[in-house]
Structures are given as structure tokens and as C-alpha cells.
Amino acid sequence: MKHAQIRKLVYTAICISLGLLLPQVNKIPGVNLGAILLPMHIPVLLAGLLCGIPYATFCGFILPLLNYVISGRPMIYPVGISMMFELATYGCITALLYRLTKGKVYISLIGAMIAGRIVMGIANTFLLGMSEKPYGFSVFLTEAFVNAIPGIAIQLIIIPVILYALKKAKLTELHESYE
């Protein structure tokens, strides 16, 4: 196994671990901070920048399921299933855009956030439609963007800082993310 592959596997494992730990930190009874701070999103977006498409997609897809098994949150239906597709899209699109733009972090993050939210909206429309619960455009906008503004801001600030710190410490090579 090549050194780059091993590094991607290790970073994927670290991102999955972070994706399991971060949601535990913001548990306050009666408050759904997860929907506001989006703690699982950060490690998945990082995986997209550090690990490439298959690793980041896997990281995003598995995290909601593992969190449900470990903590019972998010509820697996419909939220967890929707998040599996949303976060897998984040990982995949972040990695893809990062490679296509030759390392443009903000374009990669924002493009992935938009694509993931569209996938979440489609999944919620389908899943909630099966249970005959209304899911309209205003609910989508509120859940995907309005409530998520603090989490989006945190992601756009902290992820580039983490990536810069890793590059500065020579813990990642810029060209490895393009492979």
C-alpha cells in the first residue's frame, strides 16, 4: 500500500472519530444544537479536502449510521437516512471540486454545501412523502440554510484554518488531494 493511501485511510479514520465525538459535545437537553452547529459536517468536509472521493464519501455515508448506533441520534428515519445521503454528497463533492479547482478551498466547501443540501431536500421530500408528512420549500430553506447559518459560518472559518495548519505542519501534501 502506498504512503498516500495509508495517509488517506488514517485521515478518514480520524474524521470518522471526530464525527462521532463532536456531536456528543453539544448535547444540551431540550436544545437541538446539532441542527444549528452541524458537528458531523466538519469532519466530512475535511475528509473531502484530505482524503479524496471514495474515502470522504464513505466517511459521510457512515457517520449518521454510526452515531445512531452509538447514541440513538440522529433518529434513523427520516433524519439519519437523509443525512447519510447529504453527508456522502458533502464528502464526494468537496473532494471532486477540490481536485477540479486545483485546491480552491472555499469554492469546494460552498459547492459541496449547496449540493449536499439539495440532496438532503430531495431525500427529505421522498422520505417524508412516504410517511405523508408535508415537506415544502419553506421548510427546506429554513432547515437547510436559516437554522444552519451558525454551522455554515463555523465550517467556513475553521476548516480552512485546520487545512492550513496541516499543510504548515507538513502533514498533508497539496497534490495528494488531487489523486
- Supply 138's cell numbers: 419553506
Q: Write down the pLDDT at residue 179.
A: 44
- At 31, is the secondary structure helix, strand, or coil? strand
Structural domains of the chain in order of their starting residue, each with its CATH number:
3-178 (1.10.1760.20)
CA 59-163-43 angle, to 5 degrees, is: 25
Q: Write down the pLDDT at residue 99.
A: 96
Q: Write down the pLDDT at residue 6.
A: 92
| Cα radius of gyration (the chain) | 16
Given a contact cutoff of 8 angstroms between Cβ atoms, the answer to whether 112 and 89 are in contact is yes
- Supply 82's cell numbers: 437523509
- At 27, is the secondary structure helix, strand, or coil? coil
Given a contact cutoff of 8 angstroms between Cβ atoms, the answer to whether 12 and 55 are in contact is yes
Distance between CA atoms of residues 57 and 22, nearest Å: 19
- Number of residues that this document lists for the chain: 179
Give Cβ neighbours of residue 119 (< 8 Å, ≥ 6 apart): 85, 86, 89
Q: Which amino acid is at 161?
A: V
- At 113, is the secondary structure helix, strand, or coil? helix
Distance between CA atoms of residues 26 and 23, nearest Å: 6
Given a contact cutoff of 8 angstroms between Cβ atoms, the answer to whether 34 and 23 are in contact is yes
Q: Write down the pLDDT at residue 70.
A: 93
- Whole-model pTM? 0.89
**Tens-of-pLDDT digits for all 179 residues of the chain?**
788 899 999 999 999 999 999 988 776 666 667 677 889 999 999 999 999 999 999 999 999 999 999 998 888 998 899 999 999 999 999 999 999 999 999 999 999 999 999 999 999 888 887 777 777 777 777 777 788 899 999 999 999 999 999 999 988 865 444 44
Q: Write down the pLDDT at residue 129.
A: 78
